[in-house]
Amino acid sequence: MAERTIEIEDQITVGALAEKLMLPVGKLIAELMKNGIMATVNERIDIDTAQIIVSELGLDIELTKKQVSAVNTEPRERRKANQKGNPRPPVIAVMGHVDHGKTSLLDAIREADTAKGEAGGITQHISAYQITHNNRDITFLDTPGHEAFAALREHGALLTDVVIIVVAADDGVKPQTIEAIRFARKAGVKIIVAVNKIDKEGANVPQLKQQLAEQDLLVEEWGGDTVIVEVSAKTKQGVPQLLDMVLLVSDVEELKADDTIPATGLVIEAHQEQGRGPVAICLVDEGTLKQGDYMVAGATYAKIRNLESTSGKPLKIAKPSTPVVITGFKELPQFGDEFRIVKDEKTARTQAQAVEQQRRHDGSRQDIGSGELIRMINRTNEVTELPVIIKADVQGSLTSVIDSLKALDSDEVVIRVVSSGVGAVSESDVHLAHTAGAIIYGFNIQLPTSIKRLSSRDKVPIRLYSVIYELIDDSREEMSKLLAPEIVETDLGRLRIKGIFKTTKTEVICGGEVLKGKLTVPALGRVYRGKELLAEVNVTNLKRGPQDTKEVFEGEMCGLSLATTGRVDVQEGDDVQLYSQEAVTRHL
C-alpha cells in the first residue's frame, strides 16, 4: 500500500503533475529526460508513464485514474476491448512530411469516392469525410499539415484505426515521416505506407524501401509485413489499390462497435456559422446518434437540430465511425471535446456545467509556455510576460497562431496565453483582457460593434489579422517593448586629479587636468586609483577658472564637483573617467 494516493486523469501535463507531487517542475522534467522522454511543462504524459517516473523519483505515491463523470475519456481502449457489436467502417488518418502530398492524396481519395453525389464542389476545408469504396464506407480524418500532429496525438489517436504515411518517392523518409511512424506505433494503429509522386522523374522506390527498412518497416518482398502502395495523387494512379489495402488491413482488425447504446465520440472541429450558430463536426465512436438527441460536448450541450453528413446531406441517424455536422449547441464546443448522448436537457445542462467548473478549476494550469518553464527552473531570473488572448476562426488556425507565438518566447520575455478559443471576441474576453492587461489577437474573425465599443471604453487593445506573419510581427514588437532596454555607455574623457578642495559625505570638489577626450556635465564618473575602482560618482559641475562651464577639452585644467554616496577619500593623482549612459530599445 502506497503512502499516498493521487487521483489524476488518464493524461496529465507535466506542470500539473509536478504541482500534484509538490515537486519543482524542473526536477520532474529532468527525471523524464533520464527516462528518454523529452517533455515540456505543458505536454501531457499518460498515467503509466507518470507512475514510472514517480517510482523512479523514489516517491511512495500511487497514481489512480480519476473517474470523470460527464465524459468518456477512453473510447479507443474500450472499443478495442469491445468485440461485440456490429462491424463499423475504419477511421483513417493521413500523415507524413510536409509537401509529400497529404492534401493532394486526401483530395484524390475524395474524388475516387464511388458514391459521390451531385453536391460536389466542396471548397471549404472539412476535417473529416466518408467515402464508399467497393460498396464499403471508409472514414478519413482530414487534418493535414502542421496542426495534424498535435491534434492527432492528443485526440485523434483514440479514434484512428489506420495511419497512411505518405512519403514522396523523390524525397524519401524525412523527420516528419519518422515522427509519423513513431506516432502510429505509440498509438498502436496499423500503418500503410503510401509512396506518393511515383509519376515524378526523380522517384526512387527501391531507395525508399531501404530507408523504410531502417525504420523497421520491412516490405513483404524483404520478409516483412509492411504494406506499401505506390501512388500518384496527381495522376490518381494506385489510389484504388490504396483503398483496397485500407479495407484489407482494417478487415484483419475486425472493427466493431456497439450501435445500440447512447452515442459517444469526439468533436473534431467547431466553428460559428452565419445563421446556424455554433457548428460542430463530430465523429461517432460508439452508439447511434439521432436528430433531436441531447448531446453533452465538453462544457456545452446541444439538442441536435441539424444532423448532416460532412458533404451536407441531412441524416436521420449516424452510426459508429461516421463524421457528422451538428447544429444546436448553446455555445461553441472545443476541438477535442468528447461528446455523449444523455437522456434529457436537464442532464445535459448539469453535466456540461460540471465540466465547465472542472475546467475553470484547472484553468490556471493550462497554457504554460516554455518561458514559464525557464522561470520555474530559474526563479532568480525574472521573465517578463506579454499576456494575450487569442481568438481564431477555426481550431487549426488557432493552434497554428498559438504555436507560432510560443516560438517567440525568449529567456527574458514570453507570451502568456491567458485564454484562447474559436469564434468571435466576446464580452468576457474583453473583461478578462482588461483584468489581465492582455492584448486580444483575432485571426480571421470579425469584430461586433458592441465589442468594439466595449474595448475602446475599457482601453483593451484588440488586433485583428488575417495573415499570420503580420500577427506574429505585431506580437514580436510588443514583446520587444517589454525587453529591458540595453544600456549603452559612451566614454567622454579622463581627468587626472591635481588638488582636492573639499571633501564631505556627499561631495568632493577637486581640480585637475583633462588627459583625454572632452569633459561635459552632467555626466557619470568613475574614480580610479591606478587600476582600482574607488567610487562611482555623478559629475555635477565643471569650472574653467572661476567660471562655470559645460565642457573642457584635452590638455585644459578645470575644477569639478563630484556627488558621492558616502565619503570618498579622493587623493591627488587619482583619475576620474567620465561617461554617459543611454537606454536603447532592443528588438527580438
CA distance 164 to 533: 70
Cβ distance to ligand GDP smaller for residue 41 or 165: 165
Cβ distance to ligand GDP smaller for residue 104 or 139: 104
Which of helix, strand or coil describes residue 163?
strand
Residues ≥6 apart with Cβ < 8 Å to 38: 32
103 makes contact with ligand GDP (CB under 6 A): yes
Nearest to 187 by CA among 160, 147, 165: 160
Instruction: Name the one range near ligand GDP by CB under 6 A: 195-203, 311-319, 323-331, 422-430.
Output: 195-203
CB 179, min distance to ligand GDP, A: 13
User: Which of residues 76, 79, 88, 100 is near ligand GDP by CB under 6 A?
Assistant: 100
Q: Which residues of 274-304 are buried (b: 16+ CB within 10 A; e: fewer)?
A: eeeebbbbbbbbbbbbebebbbbbbbbbbbb
CB 489, min distance to ligand GDP, A: 50
Residue with cell 471535446: 337
User: Which of residues 10, 199, 356, 556 is near ligand GDP by CB under 6 A?
Assistant: 199
CB 120, min distance to ligand GDP, A: 20
Instruction: Name the one range near ligand GDP by CB under 6 A: 197-205, 481-489, 547-555, 563-571.
Output: 197-205
Within a 10 A sphere around the Cβ of 222, how many other Cβ atoms?
12
Nearest to 393 by CA among 441, 323, 436, 437: 441
Nearest to 422 by CA among 270, 277, 267: 270
Nearest to 139 by CA among 125, 126, 120: 126
234 makes contact with ligand GDP (CB under 6 A): yes
CB 102, min distance to ligand GDP, A: 4
98 makes contact with ligand GDP (CB under 6 A): yes
User: Which of residues 196, 288, 419, 561 is near ligand GDP by CB under 6 A?
Assistant: 196
Site string for ligand GDP, 544-573 (x = CB under 6 A): ------------------------------
H helix or E strand, kind and range, residue 398:
helix 395-406
CA distance 367 to 182: 25
Question: Looking only at residues 106 through 145 of this chain, which bind ligand GDP when binding is defined by CB under 6 A?
Answer: 144-145
Q: Return phi, psi of residue 362, to 5°.
A: -85, -15
Return the C-alpha cell found at 504. 564631505
User: Which of residues 232, 300, 334, 351 is near ligand GDP by CB under 6 A?
Assistant: 232
Site string for ligand GDP, 206-225 (x = CB under 6 A): --------------------
Instruction: Name the one range near ligand GDP by CB under 6 A: 6-14, 41-49, 98-106, 472-480.
Output: 98-106
**Contacts for 530-533 with beta carbons within 8 Å, 24 or more apart?**
none
326 makes contact with ligand GDP (CB under 6 A): no
Which of helix, strand or coil describes residue 124?
coil
Which positions lie near ligand GDP, rule CB under 6 A? 96, 98-104, 144-145, 196-197, 199-200, 232-234
